[in-house]
Amino acid sequence: MENSAAFQDFYPDAFSHCYGCGRSNPHGHHLKSRWDSQQPEQTLALHTVDPKFSGGVPGHVYGGMVASLLDCHGTASAAAFQYRQLERQWGDDGEPIRFVTGSLTVNFHQPTPIGVELAVRARLLKLDGRKCQLALTLGIGSGDNEQVFASGEMLAIQFKAS
């Protein structure tokens, strides 16, 4: 799965500069979101945080980074759910589907460790026209062994090109 194309790989060039997930930003996190092969109704991004993104106490991720990971994975996932709903494919000949964040709530349950591969997941709550509600988690492991450090909820809005 790690070698398959990610949702962000299909973002149009003009919109590929995001520090969190844009392939054209040389400085950023380059988050990569895909369908979760283990839980195909969900999406998954795997990411190991660089130690420089420390919280106040070294060894843990700073809060803004947690929000960043949920935010970028959320908007990418909203587009993926819309592509699936419309029975379209990323990179097809149609108008590219992109979502922006309307609101994001992040609940911090426990400190998020640095130096381990984190799993960021999105589950669709509701897709109604241009509005997509998602449940998000950030943790390690999966299924019954998942340990969640932060969870969230996003309202994403499909961007109108014109």
In the complex, the residues that contact a copy of itself under the rule CB under 8 A are 11, 14-20, 22, 25, 27-28, 52-58, 62-65, 67-69, 71-72, 75, 98, 100-108
**C-beta of 29: minimal distance to a copy of itself in Å?**
8
**C-beta of 144: minimal distance to a copy of itself in Å?**
25
**C-beta of 6: minimal distance to a copy of itself in Å?**
14
**C-beta of 109: minimal distance to a copy of itself in Å?**
9
Tokens for 38? 């283990």
Gap between the Cα atoms of 53 and 20, Å rounded: 13
Gap between the Cα atoms of 110 and 124, Å rounded: 24
Gap between the Cα atoms of 23 and 16, Å rounded: 6
Three-state secondary structure of 19-39: CCCCCCCCCCCCCCEEECCCC
Nearest CB to a copy of itself, comparing residues 113 and 142: 113
Could you say which DSSP state residue 54 is in? B
Nearest CB to a copy of itself, comparing residues 106 and 119: 106
Nearest CB to a copy of itself, comparing residues 39 and 91: 91
Query: Does an H or E element contain 68, and which?
Result: helix 63-85
Nearest CB to a copy of itself, comparing residues 31 and 127: 31
Gap between the Cα atoms of 4 and 15, Å rounded: 21
130, amino acid identity: R
Nearest CB to a copy of itself, comparing residues 14 and 144: 14
**C-beta of 114: minimal distance to a copy of itself in Å?**
11
Gap between the Cα atoms of 30 and 23, Å rounded: 6
